[in-house]
Amino acid sequence: MNDHKKRVVILGGGTAGWITANLMATHWKDKGFDITLVESPDIGIIGVGEGSTPPLKGFMDVIGVKESEWMPECNATYKVGITFKDWSTKPGFTEYVHPFLAQPDQFTAPAFFHNSFLRRKGVDLEGHPDHFFLATEMIRQKLAPVTPENFPFEIAYGYHFDSGLLGKFLARVAEKKGVKYKSATVTDVLLDTQGNIDCLKTAEGETLKADLYVDSSGFRGQLIQQALKVPFQSCAESLFNDSAVVFATEQEESYAPHTISTALKYGWAWKIPLTNRNGNGYVYSSRFVDDDKAETEFRQHLGLLDSDVEARRLKFKVGRVEQHWAKNCLAVGLSQGFIEPLEATALDMVQETVTRFIEAYNNGNYTDKYRKEFNDRISGRFDAVRDYIVCHYRITSRSDSDYWIANGSNEKISPSLRAILMSWMAGKNITDELLDQKLDVYFPNVSWNCLLTGKGIYPPQEQLRPGNELANKYKMEDIHEFIRRCALNFKSHQEQLQLLRQ
């Protein structure tokens, strides 16, 4: 894409399309870019993702949007982590939090690593991650992660939101930045003699030409997969889930800043608090249960067996394309891939993909060499997320259905994940192994340790022996008191959300 070629067409809206439009309009401001987003009025948006990881805050900062501007409009709440319930049957480990990290955790995390490492060696020390991180206490007390001026520490946090409302909000922001919107249905994609996309034909009789095409068309992958024939690498052998059923339920009077993931018989259920409702979904595998039975199980879980609340059913495929940037096309969102929503990584993948592409273009690196580096980087992040998600299932101790038995005995996992699990079971420090396997490019060492310790991957309690003075160098009462004092600095979740509306 030479300097005189500055036309961009984004095919598809939704949150992914509008995140892309905003990032490009912001980074390429005053550089003569003509950015158009084309969205079909006849094709619906998946839009079930209602949670994020901390990088979404950075995105809002980049495009110049304050929390007070977007959160009330999108019924948004704060998120400091994910609580996993009933994923493990091991006593004392049936529930744990995967925390977003806070700066004060640097004072308590060493104790977590020390205790959990020695517990794997058979020493009887507290090794459950919930005792060591501020996020867990904030969830327990239902506190908002917005730091006051007198508390000089940063806290990483994400959000929960109505994805439909967020997409509409981002559309308005993008249009103010000069992005053009066109309502049209693309029916044909024409290629030139070099195999690049030449133009798009619409049902309305228009021809859309650009120098760069962004595929945000969802699972269809209308440009990257259908037109350019970029192969799709399925993860179905290691991630069995392919379906979801979704309900909205009434909100409670108060709610904690976390997503809840509860393991059920054939998958897991999310519960996401918004200011006006709860978002609920059951992610399951159609190989092990039919849709009607899954919906009945989920209704029972929610106490809705006798309710006429309508369910929404979804199908999805897990995996990624082999190339996220092919020819003159960049794939974002579901068109580039999807690793199920267990850790709410989808929007961060969009941000990373678009940001890295913009960097490559700004550096003049619109060449085959840099395209390969870009694709390897993005694929590496997808694969690291895949391994982390697969690990949730592979280390399960549940055996109450064929689904969980198959997950717990599945040998079709990546060599990189196998190396991590072997290292852990051998009692080794997995830090170096994570680096060697390039699995720390998304989830850091502490996240992997929380996952494995939170599910109780330790020797049985009866095999543990008391530790000596050196082993017991960290006093749990001191750690608990430090975390308790840190938590005194924060407002309640409800109070902070109300302040945003003033």
pLDDT number for residue 365: 65
Q: Is 427 annotated as a binding residue?
A: no
Averaged pLDDT, 471-478:
95
- pLDDT for residue 150: 85
The CATH code that applies to domain 7-71+161-232+318-366 is: 3.50.50.60
Mode of pairing for the β-strands spanning 180-183 and 34-39: parallel
* Neighbour tally for 465: CB within 10 Å: 11
Give dist(CA 235, CA 339) in Å, integer.
Answer: 8
Say yes or no to pLDDT of 43 above 80. no
| Residue 305: CA count within 13 A, CB half-sphere | 6
Mean pLDDT score of the chain: 95
pLDDT value, residue 156: 97
Q: Mean of the pLDDT values across residues 296-322?
A: 94
Q: What is the pLDDT of residue 4?
A: 60
pLDDT at residue 33 greater than cutoff 80: yes
Q: Is the pLDDT of residue 442 over 70?
A: yes
Residue scoring higher pLDDT (279 or 43): 279
Q: What is the mean pLDDT of residues 77-103?
A: 98
Q: Is 326 annotated as a binding residue?
A: no
The percent of residues in the chain predicted with pLDDT above 90, rounded, is 87
Instruction: Give the residue extent of every domain in the chain.
Output: 7-71+161-232+318-366, 109-156+385-487
pLDDT at position 158, please?
98
Query: Strand, helix or coil at 185?
Result: coil
The full DSSP string for 386-454 is: HHHHHHHHHT----SSHHHHHHHT-----HHHHHHHHHHHTT---HHHHHHTT-TTTS-HHHHHHHHHH
Flag the least confident range among 147-161, 281-295, 344-358.
147-161
Please enumerate in sequence order all residues whose Cβ is within 8 A of that of 205, keeping only pairs 6 or more positions apart, or say none.
Answer: none
- Model pLDDT for residues 133-142, shown as the tens digit of each residue: 999 999 999 9
**What type of residue is 333?**
G
- In 10 A of CB 252, how many CB atoms? 9
Span 178-213, pLDDT tens digits: 999 999 999 999 999 999 999 999 999 999 999 999
How far does the chain reach from its first CA to its final CA, in angstroms? 46
Q: What is the DSSP track for 44-89?
A: -------B--THHHHHHHHHT--HHHHTGGGT-EEE-EEEEESS--
Mean pLDDT, residues 298-304 taken together: 95
Q: What is the pLDDT of residue 178?
A: 96
Mean pLDDT in residue range 40-69: 87
CA distances (Å), 179 to each of 42, 170, 212, 271, 408, in order? 21, 11, 15, 34, 48
* Among 79, 271, 327, 455, the one annotated catalytic: 79
Is residue 79 among the annotated active site residues?
A: yes
185 marked among binding-site residues: no
Residue 1 has pLDDT above 60, yes or no: no
How many whole angstroms separate alpha carbon 499 and alpha carbon 494?
9
Q: To which H or E segment does residue 267 belong? A: strand 267-273
Helices and strands (DSSP H and E) totals, the chain: 15, 21
Band (pLDDT 50/70/90 cuts) for residue 47 is: low
Q: How far apart are CA 414 and CA 419, in angstroms?
A: 9
Q: Does residue 483 carry a pLDDT above 90?
A: yes
The answer for residues whose C-beta is within 8 angstroms of residue 228's C-beta and 6 or more apart is 191, 195, 197, 326, 327, 329
pLDDT of residue 46: 58
Q: What pLDDT shows up at residue 475?
A: 97
* Tally of CB atoms within 10 A around 335: 29
Map residue 352 onto helix, strand or coil. helix
- What does the pLDDT read at residue 3? 52
Assign 196 to helix, strand or coil: coil
Please report the sign of the dihedral spanned by the C-alpha atoms of residue 389, residue 395, residue 398, residue 403.
positive
Please list, in sequence order, all residues whose beta carbon lies within 8 angstroms of the beta carbon of residue 166, skipping any fewer than 6 positions away. 15, 70, 74, 76
Tell whether residue 51 is among the known ligand binding residues. Answer: no
* pLDDT in the model for residue 48: 53
> What is the tens place of the pLDDT at every residue in 223-260?
999 999 999 999 999 999 999 999 999 988 889 999 99
Closest CA to 238 of 319, 175, 157: 319
Distance CA 141, CA 416 (A): 38
Is residue 79 part of an annotated ligand binding site?
Answer: yes
Question: CA-to-CA distance for 218 and 268, rounded, in angstroms?
Answer: 23
Is 176 annotated to bind ligand?
A: no
Identify the three-state secondary structure at position 324.
Answer: coil
pLDDT band at 70 (very low <50, low <70, confident <90, very high): very high
